[in-house]
Structure 1
Amino acid sequence: MRRFAFIYICLAGDFYIAFGLTDAPTLGRTDTPRLVSKDSGGFEFQVHQNHTVIFYDDSSEEMYVGGTDFVIKLDVNDSNNIKKFPLKTIGHQQYQEGENVITVIEKFQDSLLVCGTNGRKPQCWKLFSSVNNQTDEITESYDGTGISPFTYTQNSISIVVEEDLYAATPLNSDGSSLQFRRKAGITGDVWMHHKWVSEPTFISASWVKRKEDRENEKIYVFFREKNSDHSPEADPWISRVARVCKVDEGGPKRFLQNIWTSFLKARLVCGFPHESLYFNHLQDVYVVHDDHWLNTTVYALFTSSWNSTAVCIYSVEMIEEIFENSAFKGFNKEIPKPRPGTCVKNSKSLPLSTLSVVRDYPELTSWVHSTRYTAPFYISSNNYIKIAVDRVQAADKQMYNILLLATDSGKIHKIVEAGPKPFIISETQLSSNSTVQTMKLDSKKKTLVVGFSDKISIVDLQRCQDYNNSCAECVLAQDPYCAWTKFGCTPTVLGGIQNVMDGQISVCSTSEEEHRQVSRTKRETTLRTVHSVALGVPFYLSCPIDSYHAAYTWEHDGQSSPCLQMQSNCLHLIPAMSNENYGNYECISKEKDYTKVVTQYQLKQYQLTKPMIRTINYSSAVIPQIGWLTPLLAVVVLEVFS
């Protein structure tokens, strides 16, 4: 006995459907992700979290996640190996009401420093990891004001530089007195002058090491602040990069005591200078460090008032050029020596003339432009909120930068910086329930840890199995993480077949074995599916989309017709079966010089005898995300047994 299942769409009037896709890339366009996939794995929270923070040391297998009233230690290789540290709100002598949302986890001196809101009375704890099979333990607690915000919604950042902790967080419960400080450690507390910033939102801080010149090491601070220019044409916010010297201990007792003597700030611009059009809302920053500090690169994510996002790239060398040579905004006298902002061994000995410029004129006249200057590196209509950047050595021994961009809808876009424009390798949907709260890259293990309100996802960046059908598909992916070898598409090894710059598959023909695999008139052999269909009934054929950069067509009796895209499938719709509709159909995809047969069908005429018919009301489970169509009466499924 054979069983045939037919899905017929019965419409009032003409057979016509228009598919309106709301959440899938458009076929044949290279400015969208080439591959779309889902990753539903990860550690799920029992209760949704309003805020999460992750500490992940790539030298260890341990990851610490802070939520509301707890810190969890996870083994990244074993999701069942979990240890939970309760951190309820505490008062000076007794428990009090209110949540303790963990906001800071940093490796500081001899332990992990864990700080939380503690019912609007910030508190910090020391967490000692297990040593010599001893039990992990949390010891002494102390006041966390100036390290943790009072509520998780208040702006804050933190960074540990050797034996010192730096933080930007409000000193007052109403969110006021927000500034960047050295807050704890061996060097001594230093803070900002109250006039240096206006309603700031701190984004990130990064320490750039200079192995051969430790005295001149600096900490760069990225933030946005309210624009002092209130004219109608001025943008309300300005994005900034500031710097302070690591050795800065503040000024002498009579002037700028315990206040930065090296603080300077400059405008960070991203956009189209020739049109005076800028993305001014700095959203996130990721710094790619280099052994030679001048080659350290800053990737900055901006949003705009016209609902677009952009990525601009800056070099620390260019930033330093501005800080070392620009005039000081509003200062018209001769620049004193040493130049304001200069790092010196004893900042308390700086002359008053130098300190006065730092106090009264910390802003530089020149702007910091991106390396491409005339335009951002990447512009998108996606609402990106987080960025990380990995460096990968490809099979050609060249280093490539991979941008990992998180959208507000729980997706991660993987983009390679190669050639004249960015190439969007893939899109991975991690969560449909919440937006990304935090993101950490482990470059050694090639994984991305992403925190949501409902779970922690650990993403494998080397998903080479997604392109494992042939050498051509492995090369077309232009993924520096993957190359074609005798074992298939695998994590990159030197000598593997790969073409990151332009994805041309001619490199595959260097091997006779590869030539046989991808040739065959450049079409792969696929199994043909046979359907028996009655005359006069509507019918459709479906073809899976395995690359959104490809163009798909249906071929039948020497005639080609475009596919109708529906999410991850291409459809061919037949309003009513007639004699000329029977025969063989091929779904063909073409991407650059590579053409393949994705699916094959054979439609045969079937004479209905005693069909068993049941009517199913239309639901999105049958045909999901159809934008609009002529009035749909029903979806009829005929099950015919013979």
Structure 2
Amino acid sequence: MLNLELLLLGHLLILGSAERVPRLKFAPTDQPRVKFESPARSSVGYHDEKSDTLYLGSTGSVYLLQFTDADVSQTPIPLSLDDNTRKKCQSKVSASQELCENVITVIQRVNKTTIIICGTYAGSPKCWFLPNNRTQLASDKEGRQIIVQDGRDITPSVPRQRPITITVGEDLYSAISSTSQNSGSIQRSYGWMKHLKSEDKWFQNPTFVGSAWIQMTDRNKDEVYFFFRETNGSTALDGEPYRAYVGRVCKIDEGGSKTAGQDSFTTFLKARLICGFPTESRLFNKIEDAFVLHAEDDPKNSMVYGVFSSLWNSTGICAYSQSDIEQAFRNPKLKGFTGNLPGGQRPGTCIKVTPPKVIQAIRSFPEIEAPIYPFLNHPLYVMKHNNYTRITADRVKGANQDVYHVLFLGTGNGKIHKVLLNSGKSFIISELSPFTAEAPVSIMTLDSSMGHLYVGTPVEMVRLPLANCADYGSTCVQCVAARDPYCGWNRTSGECVAVPRTLSVTDSDVVQNIDQLNVSVCDGASDVVVLSEEPTELIISSGAYLYLPCPVKSYHAVYTWSYNKDQFTCTIKDGSCPLMFNGEVPVRKGLFKCTAIEDGLREELAAYKVTLNKGSTLGLERTAFILILTVLCYLL
């Protein structure tokens, strides 16, 4: 029996932590997918927006995946080693099987007609070109494949760490993380502009996780961002092993003179990213992934979203305003620099030729003294015991024409969290489990124009709809309570449907309530939803084991069973919150109801009328049969 005050207290506690728990959980199985016979050794994929194709890197080949609503076709593009190269590699004493392969690490469009593909090629990286809509690599007039013989500036020679590449105009930038053979670098590695690189002393064992091209109104002010972490050289006992940074160079950078940084970036600066609760000394310093959600109207309104992990097995999601980052790089005070610059010249200014004295200051002191703090000075939310590996975001216009940001986060065990951001608060709409095997999400690409999310692990690839509205249920209350800006209830058709990108007069019947759980927009809806079906009648012996299932419609709700004036708690397991009686807790006759309470919405989900039959076991057998059918129906 549960005291009502304790029930309300438990409800408040769950609401306080609800934003860290997915409200709904789904396991989609009918989406187009492909499963690989053996785990892929690469986590690189490339998707052209407004298309149904995706290029996926593997060992010795690239796969062209073409998706339909029901299936995926695979076309391999071979890129294996020649026999001489393989034998030469295998003859080395320290060579492993993985090192003596061509692991594809880069797939990136370099212009409107060509994609560049790079691989480790047994320790001697090479790159090839693939024309649009082709499955044959580019070749010269004699039929020989066109190869960038030395791809070391674009990709590492070992596949342990994915390189980060981005095309800016028709120039390819590469960020290669540090390995035992490489100290880590950022390079403008291929294209029309002068090839430039960073200097070794600017980094401390960097691991790059993301990049972005920030396009300004004045295109001469365009910037390229790189997100990375460094190992912390501090020997303090409380020193964190990692620090997170954003590095930035100007697109217009042409390097220095022959005497000052001729082949180096002259506009490079880096600033530390703080994620956590600084006043409590709780920080998430290991950046795992980052994504820039560009604003359509003004670059300053863009947002940077990052995944950060900590030493205590938890993950923080932090957001940064583009205007804050831009302000930090616009008026930098270089950490450790005490000299004076002539004429008040600012380091990192986006100009073609940087004065020599400014170059010298940047070369020795590339870090900005002031760190960049997250939006609202704390994480959007913190997830304990569930690490995120990938992040992407979308800008969604709701039925009310308000714009909402929605995050998609991949986890270390192959799940995807769909998260609504609203007024500085986060709300995990749902958790998707689309894969047959648990593996970390390594690829995540969003195509907003086509309404698709491509998600991959080392063993599977699947395409998911951004608007999975039918999953929310067949009633207006269920649809609106989901608070998904992609979906709304169509009063005319009586369905939960995707909200059209451009609403017309005929779309005015689509209703939502994104800001809070409020179903008053549903015709005839109230805060109490009564079960429409009659109670399931059960006949059972007094000493029998009784299992009464209750379907979980929301993991943010509090579930209770009522019997006369008594109330019982239950524990959620496998999508149900059952009430159980056994020899220690005698079964009773009467009416049992399961009710969910969530943010003021009260919904009856199950009801059973139990009758005791002391003299016959026939009723018990019939009851067991009914219960099995009931459980199966709920699970299905």
What TM bracket, shorter-length normalisation? 0.7 to 0.9
> What is the 5 A alignment of 1:268-283?
268-283=273-288
How many Å apart are 1:491 and its aligned residue? 0.8
One-letter amino acid of the counterpart of residue 506, structure 1? S
**Which 10-residue stretch deviates more, 315-324 or 230-239?**
230-239
One-letter amino acid of the counterpart of residue 111, structure 1? T
**For the aligned residues, what is the CA RMSD?**
2.7
**Contact in 1 for aligned 2:549/2:576 (Cα 8 Å):** yes
Q: In structure 1, what is the Cα distance between the partners aligned to 2:553 and 2:369?
A: 51
How many Å apart are 1:146 and its aligned residue? 2.0
How many Å apart are 1:176 and its aligned residue? 1.5
> What is the 5 A alignment of 1:67-466?
67-77=58-68, 79-90=71-82, 98-109=100-111, 110-130=113-133, 136-139=136-139, 140-143=146-149, 144-169=151-176, 174-210=180-216, 212-291=217-296, 292-337=298-343, 338-345=345-352, 347=353, 350-373=354-377, 375-381=378-384, 382-431=386-435, 432-466=437-471
How many Å apart are 1:609 and its aligned residue? 5.5
**Contact in 1 for aligned 2:418/2:429 (Cα 8 Å):** yes
How many Å apart are 1:363 and its aligned residue? 1.2
Secondary structure of 2:174's counterpart equals strand
**Contact in 1 for aligned 2:527/2:601 (Cα 8 Å):** no
Q: 1:323 to 1:80 in 2, by over 3 A?
A: closer
Q: In structure 1, what is the Cα distance between the partners aligned to 2:54 and 2:617?
A: 64
Give the alignment's TM-score, normalised by structure 1: 0.84
One-letter amino acid of the counterpart of residue 73, structure 1? L
| Count of aligned pairs | 576
Secondary structure of 2:578's counterpart equals strand
Secondary structure of 2:375's counterpart equals coil
Alignment of 1:482 with 2:490, yes or no, is no
Q: 1:577 to 1:275 in 2, by over 3 A?
A: closer
Residues 285-335 of structure 1, C-alpha deviation per residue, up to 9 Å, x if partnerless? 010112311112111111111222111111221112111223111112223
Q: In structure 2, what is the Cα distance between the partners aligned to 1:612 and 1:202?
A: 63
One-letter amino acid of the counterpart of residue 608, structure 1? S
Q: 1:523 to 1:227 in 2, by over 3 A?
A: same
**Contact in 1 for aligned 2:541/2:619 (Cα 8 Å):** no
Alignment of 1:38 with 2:27, yes or no, is yes
Q: In structure 2, what is the Cα distance between the partners aligned to 1:331 and 1:279?
A: 28
Quick check: which one's strand share is greater?
A: 1
Structure 1: runs of 5 or more not aligned: 1-25, 509-513, 617-622, 625-642
**Which 10-residue stretch deviates more, 227-236 or 451-460?**
227-236
Residues 5-38 of structure 1, C-alpha deviation per residue, up to 9 Å, x if partnerless? xxxxxxxxxxxxxxxxxxxxx9775231110111
**Contact in 1 for aligned 2:452/2:466 (Cα 8 Å):** yes
Q: In structure 2, what is the Cα distance between the partners aligned to 1:413 and 1:578?
A: 39
Secondary structure of 2:360's counterpart equals helix
How many Å apart are 1:170 and its aligned residue? 6.3
Structure 2: runs of 5 or more not aligned: 1-12, 91-99, 140-145, 625-630
How many Å apart are 1:147 and its aligned residue? 1.4
One-letter amino acid of the counterpart of residue 413, structure 1? H
Match of 1:530 in 2: 537
Match of 2:616 in 1: 608
How many Å apart are 1:406 and its aligned residue? 1.2
Q: 1:595 to 1:170 in 2, by over 3 A?
A: closer
Q: In structure 2, what is the Cα distance between the partners aligned to 1:556 and 1:297?
A: 51
Q: 1:520 to 1:303 in 2, by over 3 A?
A: closer
One-letter amino acid of the counterpart of residue 531, structure 2? E
One-letter amino acid of the counterpart of residue 350, structure 2? C
Alignment of 1:504 with 2:509, yes or no, is no
Give the alignment's TM-score, normalised by structure 2: 0.85
Secondary structure of 2:259's counterpart equals coil
Residue identity over aligned pairs, in percent, reads: 34
Q: 1:569 to 1:85 in 2, by over 3 A?
A: same
